[in-house]
Amino acid sequence: MNLDNVVIVLSRPEESRNIGAVCRAMANCGIHDLRIVADKSTIDEERVHILAIHAGSIYDNAKFYSSITEATADCTLVAATTRRRGKKRKGKLLLPEELTSLINVQEGKCAVVFGNERTGLEDDELEECTIAVTIPTSEEFGSMNLSHAVQVMCYHLFRETKKGEKGYTPVTLERLDKAVKTIADSLQKIGFFKVTGRKDMELFWRSILSRSALSESEAQYIEKTFTKAAGLSEKTQASEKSKNS
């Protein structure tokens, strides 16, 4: 996924602060090409920058157009966002993850178009797009804030660039058994048990820790905790023996 080929188009945005929030949502996901279908003179740039915060450069570099067709002339795919279905609304609506997969294999620039905050994209605006995408929401309250909708779409596209990455990799059972042995050895040193009961204790910790899906750093932290506790116990015992001798 080349995020430099992703274009965000806002058609007839009504509230300048929303444009600023859109800039921030884009920046969060490494997307920078913003195009706006509106008269630039109607935009309150001060209000834009209030919510854009450190993403104000996205607005400063944004281009303004008179139509969606003009704004997306250099794109190979133009996706209209809508929550309403109908004959004039592209029929099949893709889900965000489906659109992401399509954009990922598409050559050239791809645009995601968002309509006015109150009315969304009108039928004639959808006709200027090639496909449509919808973000599933509760029937109880289906309308999304403009910047929230942009954030959802940008996040799906951004996540495609991180595909395959994991927050961490759980340790193997072989590594887990090493941690369990360290725990059991430490408990034995402090006299928690001598020999009897060790096997049951090892099974207990193995069962608990395997369900926890420990990371390597977590396994090491547990080992250090028990090792240090055993070491302190041995020092205390040695000190008491010295006093009594």
Least confident of 100-109, 138-147, 164-173: 164-173
Query: Cα angle at 235 between 188 and 183, to 5 degrees?
Result: 30
Residue 166: pLDDT band by 50, 70, 90 thresholds? Answer: confident
pLDDT, one tens digit per residue, over 98-109 is 999 999 999 899
Query: Cα angle at 125 between 16 and 85, to 5 degrees?
Result: 105
Furthest C-alpha separation in the chain:
96
Element (H, E) at 218: helix 216-244
Assign residue 197 a region (left: φ > 0; alpha: ψ between -120 and 50; beta: otherwise).
Answer: left
pLDDT, one tens digit per residue, over 217-244 is 999 999 999 999 998 988 877 777 777 7
pLDDT, one tens digit per residue, over 175-203 is 999 999 999 999 988 888 866 788 999 99
pTM for the model stands at 0.73
- Superfamily for 3-161? SPOUT methyltransferase, trefoil knot domain (3.40.1280.10)
Query: Are the CB atoms for 214 and 171 separated by under 8 Å?
Result: yes
